[in-house]
Amino acid sequence: MSKIGLIIARELKSKLSNKTFIVMTILAPLLITGFVAFMIKMTQSEKTEQNVLVLDESKLFRDKLSGNDYVSLTYSNQKLEEAISQFYGKGFTCLLWISPTIVEGGAGATKLFYKKSPGFGFQIFLKDQMEKIIYESKLEANNINPDIIMNSKQNVRIMLEKVNDKGDTQEQGGFGIFGFLSGALMFVFIIMYGMMVFRSVMEEKTSRIVEVIVSSVKPFELMLGKILGVALLGIIQFAIMGIITFGLTTALSSIFLKDATSQLKVFEQQQELVKKNGTNVDLSKLEKFDDKLELFDLLQKIEKINFVEVFICFVLYFMFGYLFYSSIMAAIGSAVDSEADSQQFITPVMLPLMVGYFIATKTITDPDAASVFWASIIPFTSPIVMMSRISNGVPLWEIVLSLSVLFASFILMTWLASKIYRTGILMYGKKTSWREIGKWLFYK
Amino acid sequence: MLRIHQVTKKYSSHLALNDVSLTVNEKCIFGLLGPNGAGKTSLIRIINQITGPDSGEVFFKGEKIAQKHVEKIGYLPEERGLYKKMSVGDQVLYLAQLKGLSRQEARKRAAVWFEKFEMAGWWKKKIEELSKGMQQKVQFIVTVIHEPELLILDEPFSGFDPINAQLIKNEILELKKNGATVIFSTHNMGSVEELCDNIALINQAQKILDGSVKEIRKTFKSNTYNISFKGQAMGFVNALWAGAEVINKRTEDGIHYYTIKALNNLQPNQLLQAVLPTCELLSFNEVIPSMNDIFIQKVNEGNANIQINNHFTE
């Protein structure tokens, strides 16, 4: 066993001393969280100050458009040509021109002239207001009280509650996207580390060191040491990436979502109050969060995810799924002389992973479909598909069954792979076929 | 030391070893000879337990060979290989530890070898930065660092310049003196004559010849002699008459060089008595066949036999 230890240590050291690996491990979570934070930031409102001159020829919007902390509006009755020619001399950043025919619609009925390109958020800000004003004016023109329309609109939020065989109900996280993301992550990791094993095996074969090594250790020990070495590497990488990502998201969310989380608390307290006292509560005294409901929904769903369960399952599925696939990859690496020859073997191995990935996308819309169930039992797809289901709540027996099948399959696969491996690593110059590999299984 | 008993190894399409038996004595250098594809590498891999025989057995010092014996064997494969991106020092330590040495012991011995081969300062270099000859030296060190009792060298001199080849040759003899047994697989018959005590010749998966180098060369003697002399060639040939036949002759600067084969078990003394009166004798020596000649002769014979057999079976 100590020899396997040596092999694991070498494998680990050779990868850890690789600069690309270190840079990737640290950079990847920085980039991803940075990118997500950037996207969130971008969707929030623009902070550029806008000083807008409004030329409203329709006479519909005068004093009805409102500014905010960053946007100030000035109305004028100037002619458009005149205003444009004087535009640069004055302190306005934009010139909003509204044609008399705005109510009939059509392109070019509203124009925004600018010096520096105005942000998308700012355009939406103006557009939304204008649409609302036109909407209300049309209602008025038809003698409809806008309040009636407003009051007839009601947001609907569906709460999921699962009923178990004892008749207890339980609120569900039901957060498809999160599940899919963990499935996709599993997909990426299995491929990434599988390829690492493949390359490492092929490197030893092509550099011919392998013959020296198998004269000291059994080929099976070498293969196992290599696979375990890369697995250990994966765990180290997980840990580093996990800590960085956790730290970053905590820091970023405390900056960006500080208001939202405190508002959510108030919102939840109010909900409790309404639940307890029924309609006796004076609703008008409560704070209104109509525009925040979607964000609250998201935050509540995240809070409901059982991260411990997800994490444990992820580690278990990664370990077994990785061992399963990496033994196939080790066998392939031993059978080929160059990466170019390997395509015909790697493609069929990638295929079930791809299928798993596509079934995982299905779990967002239809988490209880039969295909989803079977794909989360069959070992070729189960790590990906089961991970994408797990945050939705999966019965324990399914997880146990799926893990046992995966475990048994990895033992079988490692055994088969070792038979191919010990013959493959010593075969040179011959182009290997599937038929050939089949024969190797029966060599003594 | 090592006994191979009726080993047969079959791959799907061909027979690599057919009922091969041989014995390697302790503290000798044993040449394993044969043309390409004869089955030498298969046999070496079986001794190294890289593959197993389909039938037959291998005994190491009387015990059936087992995993524990790998630490007593050092193997230098024909296709050399080391980790390209790993440093020389780490590599030596790693491979030595795989052969059962402790890290400290490996470090100590590596230092001795690095000193001996004038490799101080290479420790941190990566293999890919070294020349081919330098890589070969590293490879040789990792083969012998655990002081194996049995050393298996497959074409050990390929890739070395003559100076380094001599260095390695001396090391092999030194190891033998210290009690190691060496199995030596090569095509270089010159080094076989120089180094080997015993040989086995394998052709077409079968052992066709084995024994001590001296004995084999003696058996293959064909009563052939080289003679050079001054004087009348005609008289010389007449004197030989029916006692010997001329195989080859040439004349340079008035000196005649003849190669003759004695017939009817004629002894060298009788031969000399016959020719001495006819000429001024300059040199006389017996032709002992080189291992090279024996190798070619035996392999060709073997192939011819197989062709004949094939002919009959058709």
Answer yes or no: is pLDDT of A13 > 80. yes
Residue B150 has pLDDT above 90, yes or no: yes
Closest in B81, B86, B90 to A211, CB measured: B81
Residues of B in contact with A3 (CB under 8 A): 98
Residues in A touching B36 (Cβ below 8 Å): none
- Residue that has been written with the tokens 């995966």 in this structure: A406
Q: Averaged over A338-361, what is the pLDDT?
A: 88
State the pLDDT confidence band at A55, using cuts at 50, 70 and 90. Answer: confident
pLDDT at residue B60, as a whole number:
92
Q: If 0-12 CB within 10 Å is exposed, 13-18 middle and 19+ buried, where does residue A387 land?
A: buried
Give the pTM.
0.76
The yes-or-no verdict on residue B157 having pLDDT over 50 is: yes
What would the mean pLDDT of A50-58 be, rounded to a whole number? Answer: 85
Q: Among all residues of chain A, which has the CA nearest to that of B52?
A: A444
- CB B64: neighbour CB atoms within 10 A? 10
Nearest CA in chain B to A423: B51
pLDDT in tens, A31-44: 888 887 777 666 65
Segment 130-149 of chain B within 8 Å of chain A by CB: 139, 142-143
Q: Are A252 and A33 in contact (CB under 8 A)?
A: yes
Lowest mean pLDDT among A185-189, A309-313, B107-111, B172-176: A309-313
Q: What is the pLDDT of residues A239-292, one digit of tens each?
A: 888 888 888 888 877 776 777 777 777 777 777 777 777 666 666 666 666 666
From B54, B71, B83, residue closest to A444, measured CB to CB:
B54
Comparing A127 with A158, which gets the higher pLDDT? A127
pLDDT at B6 over 70: yes
Q: Where are the beta strands (DSSP E) in A46-172?
A: 50-56, 71-76, 94-98, 110-114, 161-163, 169-171
pLDDT of residue B145: 93
What percentage of chain A has pLDDT greater than the value 70? 90
Residue in B70, B97, B139 nearest the CB of A215: B70
What is the C-alpha end-to-end distance of chain A, expressed in Å?
23
**Chain B environment of A11 (Cβ under 8 Å):** none
pLDDT band at B218 (very low <50, low <70, confident <90, very high): confident
Nearest chain B residue to A200, by CA: B83
pLDDT at A294 over 70: no
Q: Is the pLDDT of residue A173 over 60?
A: no
Provide, as residue numbers in chain A, all residues whose Cβ is less than 8 Å from the Cβ of B47: none
Confidence at residue A1, expressed as pLDDT on a 0 to 100 scale: 47
Q: In chain A, which residue's Cα lies nearest the Cα of B9?
A: A444
Can you give the pLDDT at residue A207? Answer: 87
Q: Is B98 on the interface with A (CB under 8 A)?
A: yes
Closest chain B residue by Cα to residue A3? B98
Give the pairing of strands B224-231 and B279-286.
antiparallel
Coil/strand/helix, residue A53: strand
| pLDDT at residue number A246 | 83
Among the ranges given (A68-72, A75-79, A206-210), the one the predictor scored with the smallest mean pLDDT:
A68-72
Q: Which of A430-439, B64-73, B172-181 has the lowest mean pLDDT?
A: A430-439
Distance from the Cα of B244 to chain A's closest Cα (Å) equals 53
Return the DSSP state at B126: B
pLDDT at A174 over 80: no
pLDDT tier, B244 (very low <50, low <70, confident <90, very high otherwise): confident
What sign for the dihedral angle of Cα A96, A101, A105, A108? Answer: negative
Rounded Cα distance, A114 and A413, in Å:
66
Q: Which of B41, B44, B50, B145 to mutate to test the interface with A (most CBs of A within 10 A)?
A: B50
Asked if B81's CB is within 8 angstroms of A209's CB, the reply is: yes
ipTM beyond cut 0.85? no
Q: Do A213 and B98 touch (CB under 8 A)?
A: yes
Residues of chain A neighbouring B50 (CB-CB closer than 8 A): 211, 214-215, 219, 426
pLDDT band for A323, please (50, 70, 90 cuts).
very high
Percent of chain A exceeding pLDDT 90 equals 22
Dihedral angle, C-alpha A73, A76, A79, A83, nearest 10 °:
-50
Name chain B contacts of A14, Cβ cutoff 8 Å. Answer: 83, 85-86
Contact (CB, 8 A) for A420 and A442: no
* CB-based contact, A213 to chain B, within 8 Å: yes
Residue to substitute from B12, B98, B99, interface A, most A β-carbons within 10 A: B98
How much is the mean pLDDT over chain A?
82
Residues contacting residue B275 through CB under 8 Å, at least 6 positions apart = B227, B229, B236, B239, B240, B281
Contacts of A422 in chain B (CB under 8 A): 51
Q: Which of B12, B45, B70 sits opposite A216 (nearest CB)?
A: B70
Q: What are the CB-based long-range contacts (under 8 Å, 24+) for A400-409? A: A401/A377, A402/A376, A402/A377, A403/A316, A403/A317, A403/A320, A405/A377, A405/A378, A405/A379, A406/A317, A406/A320, A406/A321, A406/A324, A406/A379, A406/A382, A407/A320, A409/A324, A409/A379
In the predicted model, is pLDDT for residue A153 greater than 80? no
Contact check, Cβ <8 Å, B75/A6: no
Q: Say whether residue A310 is in contact with chain B using an 8 A CB cutoff.
A: no
pLDDT at residue A283, as a whole number: 61
Please tell me the distance in Å from B296's CA to the nearest CA on chain A.
27
Give alpha helix (H) positions in B75-161. Answer: 88-98, 103-116, 132-144
